[in-house]
Amino acid sequence: QVQLQQSGPGLVKPSQTLSLTCAISGDSVSSNSATWNWIRQSPSRGLEWLGRTYYRSKWYDDYAVSVQSRITINPDTSKNQFSLQLNSVTPEDTAVYYCARSTSHLDYWGQGTLVTVSS
Amino acid sequence: QTVVTQEPSFSVSPGGTVTLTCGLSSGSVSTSSSPSWYQQTPGQAPRTLIYNTNARSSGVPDRFSGSILGNKAALTITGAQADDESDYYCVLYMGRDIWDFGGGTKLTVL
């Protein structure tokens, strides 16, 4: 059974960097058949896919156009986890952030982390 | 920019049948869009119901089914139960490794 456990701060100041981690059990971040995604949800924007990382003989990443200038998703093979960094946050980045595994679809999700951007 | 569209809300009587749809503001949904459906209750992460148009996720009751109806993806709930009252989201593959969510349908069972 795959489980994804999220960690990270729930409060970030404007202009700073949002950082979250998703620890994987029951699968490997280096899997050749899965991708590892970050998604957020807010009342104003609904569910929004932010980006992913995946391994297919080498590492790849893809990002949503809306955040591509500010986002980095990195794998950590030593800890079997992946991370999200979102730079220069504003109050519009306030949302519940989810990590999720995708095979043919988003099949396993983390528990969600409410991140509030406020001074 | 093409937007994934869903009915904002829907209601169904207990035991009744309801079909929720997922379309595109421009164009048609087909099996190549690999539509998937998720159920979400307040405070919980989304739960996968249907993927690849009509494949039911493990543990999902067979009263949930997926299909393509005309130019939209559809989620049908047959014999609705009180605990089906949730938000339902569809996700479509938009090409270029991009997936997009619909705005969700709030289903009321009453």
Asked if residue B98 has pLDDT above 80, the reply is no
- Chain mean pLDDT for chain B: 94
Which amino acid is present at A3? Q
Residues A76-96 have pLDDT tens digits of 999 999 999 999 999 999 999
Confidence band for B86, pLDDT divided at 50, 70 and 90:
very high
A106 → closest Cβ in B48, B52, B100 = B48
Q: How much of chain B, in percent, has pLDDT values that exceed 90?
A: 87
CB contact under 8 A, B45 and A47: no
Nearest CA in chain A to B97: A62
Which pLDDT score is estimated for A45? 86
Smallest CA-to-CA distance from B42 within A96, A37, A52 is with A96
pLDDT of B81 over the 80 cut: yes
Q: What is the mean pLDDT of residues B87-97?
A: 87
Residue type for position B101: F
pLDDT per position as a tens digit, B15-42: 999 999 999 999 999 999 999 999 999 9
* Residues of B contacting chain A (CB within 8 angstroms): 34, 36, 38, 44-48, 51-52, 57, 89, 91, 97-104
Q: pLDDT under 70 in chain A at which residues?
A: none
| Alpha carbon distance A18, A67 (integer Å) | 13
pLDDT category, B99, cuts 50, 70, 90? confident
CA distances from A96 to A11, A26, A47, B13, B38 (A): 12, 24, 9, 31, 16
According to the model, what pLDDT value does residue A101 have? 95
Q: What local confidence, expressed as pLDDT, does residue B36 receive?
A: 96
Structure tokens at A68: 């591509």
Residue B97 has pLDDT above 80, yes or no: no
Write the single-letter amino acid at B48. T
The amino acid occupying position A37 is N
In sequence order, which residues have a C-beta less than 8 Å from that of residue B109 and are 6 or more positions away? B11, B12, B13, B14, B80, B81, B82, B84, B85
Closest CA to A105 of A33, A17, A32, A55: A33
| Sequence-separated (6 or more) residues with CB below 8 Å from residue A11 | A115, A116, A118
pLDDT for the residue numbered B93: 84
Question: If you count DSSP H runs as helices and E runs as strands, how many of each does chain B have, helices first?
Answer: 0, 11
Residue B94 has a pLDDT of 81
Q: Do B101 and A62 touch (CB under 8 A)?
A: no
Q: How far is CA A33 from CA A36, B16, B49, B51, B56, in A?
A: 10, 39, 21, 16, 20
Q: Provide the pLDDT for residue A92.
A: 96
Q: What is the mean pLDDT of residues B80-88?
A: 96
